Amino acid sequence: MTGAPARPDVSGCDADDFATGKVVFFGLTNNLGPGTIMKRYAGNGIGPEVPIDSLVADQTSASAVIHRGVNWTCALGDSLARAFNANGALGILPVDAAMSAKLARAFRIDVTVDSVRWDDLLAGPYRAVVDHLSDASLKADLLGGRTLMVSRAFAAKGIKVTALFDGSTGAGAKAALGEGPRIFTEGKVTAAVNLAWEGTTKLVMTTPAEVYIAGQFRRFGAGTSPAGDGTVEATDPSRQTLVRTGL
């Protein structure tokens, strides 16, 4: 997605940041919302260290630190489909490398969605969570700006991903992925999906709840503004890849 040119099919709507490559692609995920702490893997990319639900579980709910944007349905054209097709190496689902490779053999990916929105991290409430962390090392890294967190995440509601295969490759993908309601986990990334096959040539993936499919990262630290209030500082996520498991 990085470096993609501006698209006329999303001009004048909030899809611009998604379509122009200013995000890191997640695939389908339920737990990489704003506030998730990310870890850098030198030369490989960035992956989740502490998902937001785990971070706030003993203090408050994730909703207290997330501003949910307005759902919109402006013309996306095939922007979502291009994003999923362009990130076949990462994979659509959080599954192991062998299973992901079978899924990546689809010769065509189509994506439709009911609505999408940007969810943003609220710096003030998030700082309150950080101040009460029991993990002193994690707290020091966050306040010192030595780690990244998801500051914005791209949410999709009613998403449907259709993958088309030829008969032989589809048979292998079907045997590996299975069908019906499934929960996939790879490392610290989780996705709940429903898989419906038509023979061995067409797989339709839907989600029972909205999912996050991409995000932007920032540093968080007490010294990132003159007032020392922990406001977020922009960092360039270009050329970064999501790493679902530790290396």
Domain presence at residue 72: yes
- Say which DSSP state 242 is in: B
Q: Which of 88-92, 180-184, 208-212 has the lowest mean pLDDT?
A: 88-92
List of residues 6+ apart from 174 with CB closer than 8 A:
197, 200, 203
Q: Which residue range is the domain that position 43 belongs to?
A: 8-231
Instruction: Tell me 75's DSSP state.
Output: -
Least confident residue range of 16-25, 149-158, 161-170: 16-25
What predicted TM-score, i.e. pTM, was given to this entire model?
0.83
* 179 assigned to some structural domain: yes
Domain count, the chain: 1
Residue 241 placed within a domain? no
At which residue do the structure tokens 């759902």 appear?
A: 71
Domain-embedded: residue 118: yes
Across all residues in the chain, what is the average pLDDT? 81
User: Does 244 reside within a domain?
Assistant: no
Q: Where do we find the tokens 């791209």?
A: 154
* Predicted confidence (pLDDT) per residue in 21-38, tens digit: 678 889 999 999 999 999
108 assigned to some structural domain: yes
- Does residue 204 fall inside a structural domain? yes
Identify whether 197 is part of a domain: yes
Cβ neighbours of residue 245 closer than 8 Å, sequence gap 6 or more = 47, 186, 187
Q: Which of 32, 69, 25 is nearest to 53 (CA)?
A: 32
